[in-house]
C-alpha cells in the first residue's frame, strides 16, 4: 500500500449521515403500505369479484384441458411411430430371408451348371 | 370520575399479525442503524451532494423494506445494500443529468478541520481527492469508492457491480493513474 492509496482511503472514509436520517427513513417506511403476505393474498382472492374469479378459474381449466390433450396427442404419436418401426423391421426381415433363398438357388444352379460342363 | 378503561378486544389472528409487523419494523430499524453510514457515504462520495445522497440512501432503505428480503446473513445484507446503492447512484446521475453542487453544508466546521489537521491529514487534500473521485467516469467511480471506502478486494467489487474481475482491475489501475496525474498537476510532482 503506498501513500497515495492511504490518502485516498482517508479521503473516502465513511461519514455519519445527517441528524435524524434513520428516523426519517423509519417514518417513510411506516407510511408505506404493508407488503402482502401469503394470508393477505389468499384473502385478496376471495375479495375478487365473482366474474373475475370465474374467468380466472375458467382460464385455469382451459390450460389444464389443453395440457392433457397435448399429452395424449404426444402419446398417440409415440405409439404410431413404434408401430411403423415394427412394420419396417418385419419388412426388412422378410426381404432378407427372400434374398437369402434367391442367393442359395443361384449358387445351386451355378454348381449344377459347372458339373454339367 | 373516571370509569373503567375501555378495552377493545383484538382478535387473536390480528394480534399475531401486529406482533409480526412490530418485529419486522424492529429488524428493519436495526438494519437502518447498522448500515446507514455505509449507504449514505457511498451515495455521498458518488454524488458529492448531501441532499442527493440522503435522497438516494433513503430510497435504498425503502427498497429493502418493500422487498422484505430474506437474507442468508449480515454479509449478504451489506452486499445487497452496496450493490443497490451503487446502482441507484448511477441511475440518479443518468436520469437527472445530475451535476454535483457544493453547498454550505458540505464545508467542514472549523472544529472538524482542526481535529482533522491534528490527526495528521491535510483536509484540503482530502477534499480535492473526493472532488477528483467524484469526477471519474460512473463505473470507475463506483469501483474506487468500493475499493477505498469499503475496503473490498477486486473479486468482491466484481460481484457487487456484476462485472468481470479484469474490468474491475483495469478500472482501478486507470483511475489511480488518472487521480495521481491530476493531483500531481495540482500540487506539483514532488507533492505526491
| pLDDT single digits (tens) B96-138 | 765 555 444 444 444 444 444 444 468 888 899 999 999 999 9
Predicted complex ipTM exceeds 0.90? no
Confidence of residue B150 (pLDDT cuts 50, 70, 90): very high
Say whether residue A38 is in contact with chain B using an 8 A CB cutoff: no
Q: Which of B86, B154, B99, B93 is nearest to B131 (CA)?
A: B99
Say whether residue B121 is in contact with chain A using an 8 A CB cutoff: yes
Reading the block at residue A22, the C-alpha cell is 434513520
Share of chain B above pLDDT 70, in %: 70
Per-residue pLDDT of chain A (117 residues; tens, 9 = 90+): 588 899 999 999 999 999 999 999 999 998 887 656 667 677 777 777 788 888 999 999 999 999 999 999 999 999 999 999 999 999 999 999 999 999 999 999 999 888 888
Cα B149 from Cα B153, distance rounded (Å): 11
A17 and B54 within 8 Å at the Cβ level: the answer is yes
Say whether residue B28 is in contact with chain A using an 8 A CB cutoff: yes
Backbone dihedral region for residue B188 (phi beyond 0: left; psi -120 to 50: alpha; all else: beta): left
Reading the block at residue B180, the C-alpha cell is 495521481
Every domain of chain A and the residues it spans: 3-116
Dihedral, CA of residue B45, residue B47, residue B50 and residue B54, to nearest 10: -100
For chain A, helix (H) and strand (E) counts, in that order, are: 4, 0
B57 and A4 within 8 Å at the Cβ level: the answer is no
B148 and A28 within 8 Å at the Cβ level: the answer is no
A25 and B58 within 8 Å at the Cβ level: the answer is yes
What domains can be seen in chain B, in order of their start residue? 14-100 (1.10.1740.10), 111-192 (1.10.10.10)
Q: Which among B33, B40, B148 has CB closest to A12?
A: B148
A7 and B29 within 8 Å at the Cβ level: the answer is no
Dihedral, CA of residue A46, residue A50, residue A51 and residue A53, to nearest 10: 30
Amino acid at each position: 500500500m503506498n501513500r497515495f492509496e492511504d490518502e485516498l482511503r482517508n479521503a473516502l472514509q465513511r461519514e455519519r449521515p445527517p441528524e435524524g436520517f434513520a428516523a426519517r427513513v423509519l417514518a417513510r417506511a411506516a407510511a408505506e403500505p404493508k407488503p402482502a403476505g401469503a394470508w393477505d393474498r389468499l384473502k385478496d382472492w376471495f375479495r375478487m369479484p365473482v366474474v373475475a374469479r370465474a374467468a380466472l378459474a375458467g382460464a385455469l381449466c382451459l390450460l389444464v384441458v389443453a395440457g392433457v390433450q397435448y399429452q395424449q396427442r404426444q402419446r398417440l404419436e409415440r405409439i404410431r411411430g413404434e408401430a411403423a418401426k415394427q412394420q419396417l423391421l418385419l419388412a426388412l426381415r422378410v426381404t432378407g430371408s427372400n434374398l437369402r433363398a434367391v442367393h442359395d438357388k443361384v449358387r445351386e444352379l451355378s454348381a449344377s451348371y459347372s458339373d454339367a460342363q | 370520575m373516571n370509569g373503567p378503561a375501555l378495552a377493545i378486544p383484538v382478535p387473536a389472528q390480528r394480534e399475531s399479525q401486529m406482533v409480526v409487523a412490530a418485529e419486522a419494523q424492529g429488524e428493519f430499524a436495526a438494519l437502518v442503524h447498522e448500515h446507514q453510514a455505509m449507504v449514505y457515504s457511498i451515495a455521498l462520495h458518488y454524488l458529492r451532494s448531501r441532499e442527493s445522497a440522503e435522497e438516494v440512501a433513503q430510497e435504498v432503505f425503502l427498497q429493502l423494506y418493500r422487498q422484505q428480503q430474506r437474507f442468508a446473513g449480515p454479509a449478504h445484507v451489506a452486499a445487497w445494500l452496496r450493490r443497490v446503492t451503487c446502482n441507484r447512484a448511477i441511475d440518479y446521475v443518468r436520469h437527472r443529468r445530475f451535476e454535483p453542487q457544493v453547498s454550505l453544508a458540505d464545508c467542514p466546521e472549523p472544529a472538524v478541520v482542526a481535529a482533522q489537521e491534528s490527526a495528521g491529514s491535510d483536509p484540503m487534500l482530502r477534499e480535492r481527492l473526493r472532488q477528483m473521485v467524484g469526477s471519474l467516469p460512473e463505473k470507475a467511480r463506483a469501483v474506487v469508492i468500493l475499493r477505498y471506502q469499503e475496503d473490498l478486494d477486486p473479486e468482491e467489487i466484481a460481484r457487487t457491480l456484476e462485472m468481470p474481475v479484469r474490468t474491475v482491475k483495469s478500472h482501478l489501475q486507470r483511475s489511480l493513474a488518472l487521480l495521481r496525474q491530476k493531483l500531481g498537476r495540482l500540487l506539483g510532482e514532488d507533492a505526491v
